[in-house]
Amino acid sequence: MFHGREALAVDEDMDPSAAAPPGAETNLDLALIGNCAIGALVDRRGAIVWCCMPRFDGDPVFHALLAEGVPDGSMNVELEGLSSVEQSYDHGTAIVRTRLIDGEGRGVEITDFAPRFFHRDRMFRPAQLVRRIRPLAGHARIRISVRPLGEWAREKPTITRGSNHLRYVLPSGTLRLTTSAPPTYVAEGTWFSLHSPVSLLFGPDETLSGGIDETARDFEEQTSLYWRSWTRRLAVPLEWQEAVIRAAITLKLCQFEETGAIVAAMTTSIPEAAHSGRNWDYRFCWLRDAFFVVRALNSLSEVGTMEDYLRWLYDVLRGAETGHVQPLYGIGLEQALPESIVSHLPGYRGMGPVRVGNQAYEHFQHDVYGNIVLGAAQAFHDHRLFRRADPSDFMALEAMGEQAWLLHDQPDAGMWELRTRARVHTSSALMCWAACDRLAKIAARALGNRDRAAHWQSRAETIRTRIVEQSWNEKRQSFVESFGGSELDASVLLMAEVGFLPPADPRFRSTVLALEAALCDGPYMRRYEAADDFGRPESSFNVCSFWRVDALARIGQQDRARELFEALLARRNHVGLLSEDMSTTTGELWGNFPQTYSMVGIINGAVRLSARWEDTV
């Protein structure tokens, strides 16, 4: 294993079929690298199988994750006679190292990252991937391939060569690979013996100002220092620190820093379950998901992500002339995200369709107004911020409160984005209550405006009464998914998290027990019990499993909560990441990856359950 690196590194002895990358089944044993401008996914053998440029929601120049067995669409290093692999992150960073070892002990180490560090008083975060390859023992034979495609894999590039670079000319622009490896070998896919380290820098068609290996080494050192400094400032819980740090870095990597938007995941169209057709594009900013990301990072005293997000959020609000706010937007504030199918791509393990865009931007999801106010509330109270919220910001939020008040008892698509059914969802009404409740608190505590505080508190109480009366089902002894309904839904567990009910309330305790009986299989929890547009859900939804952990801890079942939390942590992949969903029978990861909701669950669970620092040090 790697000394000084994270404990989840894998040392995998391979059988002959696993030793050949083209024959290996695609899976979510992937590591994320990025720099808050782009992100890329690296598989266990060091192949970069997903990367969109020039931003998260762009054209995937590497798309092999959605086209298994196709030779193009990846950036790969193959080792002749591959026998075993190891992979891990450098501790506290977004730098990944992969070791490939052959049957005679020869091997290479691949270091992957995207540069991110301060340079000339600004953040340097180019749309660039850096790959360094060094021999470990002997003279291993390797083959380096860099095969980007354009227009969603429809266009092969025209390749031109220089003395130390290859240019990939595509309809949307030109990419450049600058390398100290022989460009001829890279272009032609030639096997060669690696005698000394080589570097590859892939990104914009720009000339390097310094030497290739020198630049790659300098970028790695500065990127490592940046991430270790960022991690060092986190207020982590005493227990599960490595899991929390990895989750925090992953959440940070999902923020498009230029605008402040936070994507739900880096990928599109990884199915929620095998052959389910539940394939969606998550490379956009859902205001709901972004709130939970901000809240989790705030709990670790990482408020910079919130400050950047609020820049983007207030641009959304001030552009909402009619008061209506979509549940999601593009990371550049794009409103229209039309959904289409890329029919020529087979999809993850051949399980299409591959979707681009997301029709949910057309939905009415009334919980969005609560998520807006909750996401912005801390900025009124937190004196550490460079820019604290002011009365003009409060006015913008009050407009959201008006929407929450008007719509709290109106049907919508709900937080699970049902496409063919509208109801008055309890979770939507709950978040409308939260909008009014937090506006009252901001008015009273931050602004000293008693009249507005009383106004919003009165509305919050009215909504609370309606929720309690309309969503409690006496027969099931539980709060249910919609007003007057009878079906159970995990989202009502958020009642305690947002402060709607105290955990000691017998109705909340009864709800937790009812949901466990109906929706749980071992440590796994499904979203709801009713059939939806695709039938009954087959897989568990990871964040719901973490909501259950939180709820159990709140009602005093600390030991059970810890047991379940440990079981969920054990289902992370080999570098500590989670997707959206999980098979309840095999524990296999499904759904888009890495999913911010799921990584938020890791942080929230650890913060909730950890022993206290003051009791130990």
SS (H, E, C) 197-243: CEEEEEEECCCCCCCHHHHHHHHHHHHHHHHHHHHHCCCCCCCCHHH
How far apart CA 454 and CA 460 sit, in angstroms, is 10
Euclidean distance between CA atoms 87 and 228, whole angstroms: 19
Q: For residues 609 and 299, is the Cβ–Cβ distance under 8 A?
A: no
Strands 96-102, 141-147: pairing is unpaired
Q: Please name each of the domains of the chain with its CATH number.
A: 10-210+226-231 (2.70.98), 240-611 (1.50.10.10)
Retrieve residue 348's tokens: 């993850």
| pLDDT tens by residue, 231-289 | 999 999 999 999 999 999 999 999 999 999 999 999 999 999 999 999 999 999 999 99
pLDDT at 581 over 90: yes
Q: What tokens appear for 563 in the block? A: 């047991």
CA distance 331 to 313: 11
Pair of tokens at residue 189:
């896919």
Q: What is the mean pLDDT of residues 609-615?
A: 96
Instruction: Average the pLDDT over 498-507 and give the result.
Output: 96
Query: What is the predicted pLDDT for the residue at 300?
Result: 98
Give the angle subtended at the CA of 571 by the CAs of 7 and 560, to the nearest 5°: 105
Cα dist from 65 to 400, 434, 582, whole Å: 39, 39, 18
How far is it, in rounded angstroms, from Cα 500 to Cα 224?
42
* Pairing, β 165-170 against β 96-102: unpaired
Locate 271 and state its tokens. 């199915």
| CA 300/CA 604 separation, integer angstroms | 10
Contact 553, 561 (CB under 8 A): yes
Q: Strand, helix or coil at 549? A: helix
* Alpha carbon of residue 170 to chain centroid: 29
167: three-class secondary structure by DSSP: strand
Calculate the alpha carbon distances from 532 to 111, 180, 356, 438, 528 in Å. Answer: 44, 54, 22, 32, 9
Element (H, E) at 261: strand 261-262
- Phi and psi torsions of 49, nearest 5°: -110, -5
Q: Percent of the chain having pLDDT more than 90?
A: 91
Confidence class for position 475, pLDDT limits 50, 70, 90:
very high
Read off the pLDDT band of 35 (50, 70, 90): very high
Is the pLDDT confidence value at 2 over 70? no
- Mean pLDDT of the region 184-202: 97
pTM, full prediction = 0.95
State residue 1's pLDDT score: 34
Would you state the structure tokens that stand for residue 7, as one six-digit string? 């404990």
Question: Within 13 A of 195's CA, how many CA atoms are on the CB side?
Answer: 2
Task: Determine the pLDDT at residue 535.
Answer: 65
Is residue 22 scored above 60 in pLDDT?
no
Between residues 336 and 13, the one the model is more confident about: 336
Compute the Cα dihedral for 541, 546, 549, 553 and give only its sign.
Answer: negative
Q: Can you give the pLDDT at residue 348?
A: 97
Q: What are phi and psi of 166, to 5 degrees?
A: -120, 135
| Angstrom distance (rounded) from CA 615 to CA 617 | 6
Average pLDDT over residues 109-114: 98
* Residue partners of 557: CB distance under 8 A and separation at least 6: none
Please determine, for residue 598, whether its predicted confidence score (pLDDT) is greater than 80. yes
End-to-end CA distance of the chain: give it in Å, rounded: 30
Is residue 486 predicted with pLDDT exceeding 90? yes
Q: What is the mean pLDDT of the chain?
A: 94
Q: With a cut of 60, say whether residue 9 has pLDDT above it.
A: no
- Spatial separation of the C-alpha atoms in residues 25 and 224, rounded to whole Å: 32
Q: Flag the least confident range among 21-25, 223-227, 343-347, 546-550.
A: 21-25
- Strand locations in 335-462, DSSP E? 340-341, 355-356
pLDDT value at 6 more than 80? no
Give tens-digit pLDDT for 409-460: 999 999 887 767 789 999 999 999 999 999 999 999 999 999 999 999 999 9
- What one-letter code names the amino acid at 69? G
Is 568 within 8 Å of 523 (Cβ atoms)?
yes
Token pair listed for 283: 């490379």
DSSP code at position 442: I
For residue 493, give the nearest of 561, 560, 547, 546 by alpha carbon: 547
Res 10 pLDDT > 70: no
Portion of the chain with pLDDT greater than 70, in percent: 95
Q: What does DSSP assign to residue 107?
A: E
User: pLDDT (tens digit, 9 = 90+) per residue, 54-78?
Assistant: 999 999 999 999 998 777 999 999 9
pLDDT score, position 460: 98
Helix (H, G, I), strand (E, B) or coil at 23: helix
Mean pLDDT, range 512-517, rounded to an integer? 97
The pLDDT score that the predictor gives to residue 534 is 64
* pLDDT tens digits along 294-313: 999 999 999 999 999 999 99
Rounded to an integer, the average pLDDT of 135-163 is: 95
